[in-house]
Structure 1
Amino acid sequence: MVSMKTSITSIFLTFSLSFGIAQADTPAISFNSLAGNLSGSNWNLGFEFQANSNVDVTKLGSLTAGVSSSPVEIGLWDSSGNLLASASVTKSSPVLNQFSYAAITPVELKAGSDYYVASVGYTNYGAGAIGATTAPQITYIKDAWNYNGSSLAFPFKSNNFNLSNAGIFGANLQISAVPEAQEWAMMLLGLPLVGWVVRRKQS
């Protein structure tokens, strides 16, 4: 009986660990290196993408090579140009795979919908990503930009660059999968079982 309880607990804990890993934040775009870093300007630079599944955007970022003494602003928009979230990064912001990130209140993206991310205020931006890949939860559509001085602006213009033909990189984001209803149900149903096993062991 004890071994059966232990097995049940192990299965639940394994599921919980897998569940946590599945929800980990993932960069939308990753690459090995850039063919070049170009001088910064007042362009809002980023990209348009489509959500392949329901995901939460948890962090917004900008290319670390372009982050200097002044904050760099990053924005996230829907396809109608509505600003969904914004953040700023500095030289002290956490860095992951060549991008500096700032956490935001999670914003849920809907599967099948298009979105835009862009940054402004950088000193350099990147071009010609080598070994670029996207997270499976999104599809990169094309580069996106706008010129609006030093302020965030909806980047509705494009040169139709994609990942394979020297796309330009200013902004990035991190995403986390939205838990399905059945996953939450399994977690909630399993908690009383774990509590019961712990109480039995203590008695």
Structure 2
Amino acid sequence: MPEKATEPEDCGLKLCEKCRTENGAFFDNLGTGLKDPQKLVNGFVSRVETLEGAINELKEELISLSKKNREFFTRMFTTAGTKIELNNDRERRKNNIIIYNLEEKENNPKVSVGGLLKKIAGIDLETDVIEVSRMGRRSEENRIRPVLVQFTNANAKNLLFANCFRLKNFASFGSVIINHDLSKEDRAINKRIIEDKRRKIATKEDITK
């Protein structure tokens, strides 16, 4: 009977031995930490500080990335908004003209403009024109102010430009100039184009001399 009881006791001893062996490193480290608690605390603090540093670096990178993205989208939306605004402005102006050097004989410019349109292109002011107005305030020097004319459609405008050569046949319209109603941006573009053409012509003339 006593011999049969030894087998369970041996199993228990073997299990305890295995647990002690597998967890030996843990207990050794724990023992070291308990012997020198300050070292254990310092190691823990060092790890925390390292982690905090990594987190702060990540935060800075995210802030920088967020700022760059914000600036990018701001530029993109600003550019898109500017283009939309420019296109809308062009759409509003597409049926307009500006008449220069048309004498201010009457307070109402419709009289002078109506006569010009009828004589030059047979355009009826009442049916083909929306609005006629002088641009700017009357100056003390009595400079002739330009006249803005808004047509109902592009056909009337194109008809007038096609017949502008007839202006020279009328003494009262001899100095009159008719231009498209261009936006500030388009005027700047046209100015650069004209300047480039002038430079090319001047260069060509210098070569042929």
TM-score after normalising by structure 2: 0.32
Higher-Rg structure is: 2
Q: Larger strand proportion, structure 1 or 2?
A: 1
TM-score after normalising by structure 1: 0.32
User: Which structure has the higher relative contact order (CA within 8 Å, separation 6+)?
Assistant: 1
